[in-house]
């Protein structure tokens, strides 16, 4: 049994989608970051960086923070969505790290400056909008001629998809990135992706792409 501490953010959805895809038992503990739940002493014992998501594995008592590390751990533990071949595995990890170091942070800044605080910092708006567009171009090129980011459906896809699901917040027109759009809709059709998106609570219709 996995205890999942999460909220309605792309990073949180990465892990809930994976857990749904794995089909394993997990219990959800909502951490309302708007109300400061992430700063509670109880949560800090699990996630010292006071960020969601975090997990506790009841099988061995492991506590783990950082969404990428959690996804890697769960994929290894349950033997799914991560190749066995070392060279194939490292390519999946390459794109997982691309999301962790590029798409996630840059899209997060775009949300802050383009969606929540438009008109307050022209330089920041131009910088992060341009960088997000560049990253979508990188992903579009990677997806040319293939259904998934690396080989078969993997944690790399699950890590990137929730960030792309907020394309509207990032001022991105998905029709300009046809490979990304087709991939986005391909994953959206999966039941586990839809279920994982609505953890820990339903947030309205998922953008259709």
Quickly list DSSP for 67-112. HHHHHHHHHHHHT-SS-SSHHHHHHHHHHHHHIIIIIHHHHHHHII
| Strand partners for 65 | 54
pLDDT at residue 131 in the model: 98
Residues 90 and 186 in one domain: yes
Residues 61 and 98 in one domain: no
> Which of the four pLDDT bands, split at 50, 70 and 90, describes residue 2?
very high
Residues 9 and 98 in one domain: no
pLDDT at residue 115 in the model: 94
Average confidence (pLDDT) over 175-196: 98
- pTM score: 0.97
For tokens 């001629």, name the residue.
Answer: 145
pLDDT at residue 158 in the model: 98
| Cβ–Cβ < 8 Å for 199, 16 | yes
Which residues, 6 or more positions from 111, have their beta carbon under 8 angstroms from its beta carbon?
A: 166, 169, 170
In a domain, 202, yes or no: no
Residues 71 and 141 in one domain: no
Residues 74 and 158 in one domain: no
> For the segment 104-157, what is each residue's pLDDT rounded down to a tens digit?
999 999 999 999 999 999 999 999 999 999 999 999 999 999 999 999 999 999
Average confidence (pLDDT) over 169-187: 98
In a domain, 200, yes or no: no
pLDDT at residue 48 in the model: 97
In a domain, 205, yes or no: no
Residues 106 and 143 in one domain: yes
Residues 158 and 138 in one domain: yes
Instruction: Compute the mean pLDDT over every residue in the chain, rounded to the nearest whole number.
Output: 97
- The boundaries of the domain holding residue 152 are 86-190
* Structural domains of the chain, count: 2
């Amino acid at each position: 049994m996995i205890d999942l501490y999460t909220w309605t953010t792309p990073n949180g959805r990465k892990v809930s989608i994976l857990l749904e895809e794995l089909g394993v038992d997990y219990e959800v503990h909502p951490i309302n970051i708007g109300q400061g739940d992430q700063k509670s002493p109880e949560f800090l014992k699990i996630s010292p960086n006071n960020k969601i998501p975090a997990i506790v594995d009841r099988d061995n008592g492991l506590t783990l923070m950082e969404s990428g590390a959690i996804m890697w751990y769960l994929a290894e533990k349950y033997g799914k969505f991560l190749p066995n071949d070392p060279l194939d595995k490292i390519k999946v990890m390459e794109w997982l790290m691309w999301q962790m170091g590029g798409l996630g942070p840059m899209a997060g800044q775009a949300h802050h400056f383009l969606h929540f605080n438009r008109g307050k910092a022209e330089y920041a708006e131009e910088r992060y909008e341009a960088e997000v567009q560049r990253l979508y171009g990188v992903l579009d090129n990677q997806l040319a001629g293939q259904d998934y980011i690396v080989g078969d459906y993997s944690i790399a896809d699950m890590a990137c998809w929730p960030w792309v699901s907020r394309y509207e917040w990032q001022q991105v027109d998905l029709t300009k990135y046809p490979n990304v759009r087709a991939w986005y809709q391909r994953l959206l059709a999966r039941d586990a992706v839809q279920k994982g998106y609505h953890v820990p609570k339903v947030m309205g219709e998922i953008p259709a792409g």
